[in-house]
């Protein structure tokens, strides 16, 4: 769709939209690079404060995935005439809560009227240019670590039909609202080569981008991947978000499945996540140590795969 639109080149722009990465990166000097991203979407929960938290955590995640620290954020908001001022304020308060937890500042924003409410952030962060993490820089021999369980998209879809226990959904929503700050702060201490956050393109979509960008093959060990068991049950019943079908179409010719795999389990791997975890490619020598530190504060973190030289397919699920 963007073919033929003129673009400008700048040697200081070391990550742009052409890289399929999580944020753009512009080098300011030898020790500082600016990281910029934006993300917003319609409500996925009824509670406006929680919606604000989740939307903000999701936007901040792109900066954490680059190994950077968010510093400034601006609100991006659509409201309609049926929304009361209390609901608008609660959404903003939820966003502020997560931005301040991240150690960043809200510096304004922009609001328009729309038929459907929407909220998110434009986020600016900073990173040392030599410590920048990309989704295209995994190395042969790396271990792959995932920091949040899969299945949130399926469960939120099923929850719209009152098919999911309220206690489980409360846990899922809190996982969505959880910042990837802790995971970022842990991983930058180790020999991490690449990273991305697992969001709308699902685990396999984002992994495909990592494999393609790195020119390698990512192997996933199905038994090691954390996911919500009830999401598997809901997938078997047909509660599949539309994005999962698009993700399947996007990657279907680039994935090899070794052994038996149910359709419901494939749906988990293609499930679009909102504010999902980080997928970290860490050197084999540091993988176990990083996992141990992560599990001290993020118990669900797991080593779910490894990276090899390029094989017949970019992604192999075993």
SS3 234: helix
Mean pLDDT, range 132-153, rounded to an integer:
97
**How far apart are alpha carbons 2 and 7 in whole angstroms?**
10
Residues of 192-222 as b/e, b for ≥16 C-beta within 10 angstroms? bbbbbbbbbbbbbbbbbbbbbbbebbbbbeb
The string of pLDDT tens digits covering residues 258-288 is 988 999 999 999 999 999 999 999 999 999 9
Compute the distance between CA of residue 114 and CA of residue 118 in angstroms, rounded to an integer: 8
Residue with tokens 């038996």: 260
Average pLDDT of the segment spanning 104-116:
97
Distance CA 173, CA 246 (A): 24
Q: Which of 152, 145, 181 is nearest to 70 (CA)?
A: 181
Give me the percent of the chain exceeding a pLDDT of 70: 100
Q: Convert the pLDDT of each residue in 80-95 to its tens digit.
A: 989 999 999 999 999 9
Domains and CATH numbers, the chain: 13-131 (3.30.1330.10), 143-317 (3.90.650.10)
* pLDDT at 19 (0 to 100): 65
Contacts of 251 (CB under 8 A, 6+ apart): 204, 205, 208, 270, 315
CB-facing half-sphere around the CA of 31: CA atoms within 13 A:
0
Residue 205 has pLDDT above 70, yes or no: yes
pTM for this model (two decimals): 0.96
Across the range 222-249, mean pLDDT stands at: 97
Question: Which residues neighbour 227 within 8 Å (Cβ) at sequence distance 6 or greater?
Answer: 149, 150, 151, 268
In the predicted structure, residue 18 carries a pLDDT above the cut 80: no
Tell whether the model's pLDDT for residue 1 goes beyond 90.
no
Average pLDDT, the chain: 96
Residue pLDDT, tens place only, 162-186 = 999 999 999 999 999 999 999 999 9
Return the minimum-mean-pLDDT range out of 9-23, 25-39, 177-191: 9-23
């Amino acid at each position: 769709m963007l073919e033929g639109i003129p673009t400008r080149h700048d040697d200081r722009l070391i990550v742009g939209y052409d890289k399929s990465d999580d944020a753009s990166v512009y080098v300011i000097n030898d020790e500082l690079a600016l990281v910029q991203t934006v993300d917003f979407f319609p409500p996925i929960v009824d509670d406006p404060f929680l919606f604000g938290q989740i939307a903000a955590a999701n936007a901040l995640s792109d900066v954490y995935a680059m190994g950077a620290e968010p510093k400034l954020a601006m609100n991006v908001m659509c409201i309609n005439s049926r929304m009361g001022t209390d609901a608008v304020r609660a959404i903003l308060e939820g966003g502020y809560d997560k931005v301040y937890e991240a150690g960043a500042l809200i510096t304004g924003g922009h609001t328009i009227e729309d038929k459907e409410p929407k909220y998110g952030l434009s986020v600016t962060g900073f990173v040392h240019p030599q410590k920048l993490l990309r989704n295209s820089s995994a190395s042969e021999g790396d271990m792959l670590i995932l920091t949040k369980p899969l299945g949130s998209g399926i469960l939120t879809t099923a929850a719209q039909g009152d098919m999911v226990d309220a206690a489980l959904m409360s846990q899922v929503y809190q996982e969505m609202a959880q910042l990837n700050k802790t995971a970022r702060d842990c991983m930058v201490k180790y020999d991490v080569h690449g990273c991305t956050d697992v969001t709308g393109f699902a685990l396999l979509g984002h992994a495909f981008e990592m494999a393609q960008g790195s020119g390698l093959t990512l192997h996933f060990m199905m038994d090691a991947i954390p996911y919500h068991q009830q999401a598997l049950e809901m997938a078997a019943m047909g509660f599949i978000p539309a994005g999962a079908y698009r993700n399947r179409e996007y990657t279907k010719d680039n994935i090899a499945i070794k052994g038996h795999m149910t359709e419901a389990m494939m749906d988990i791997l293609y499930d679009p996540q909102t504010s999902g975890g980080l997928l970290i490619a860490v050197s084999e020598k540091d993988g176990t140590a990083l996992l141990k530190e992560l599990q001290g504060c993020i118990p669900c973190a797991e080593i779910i795969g490894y990276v090899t030289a390029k094989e017949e397919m970019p992604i192999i699920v075993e």
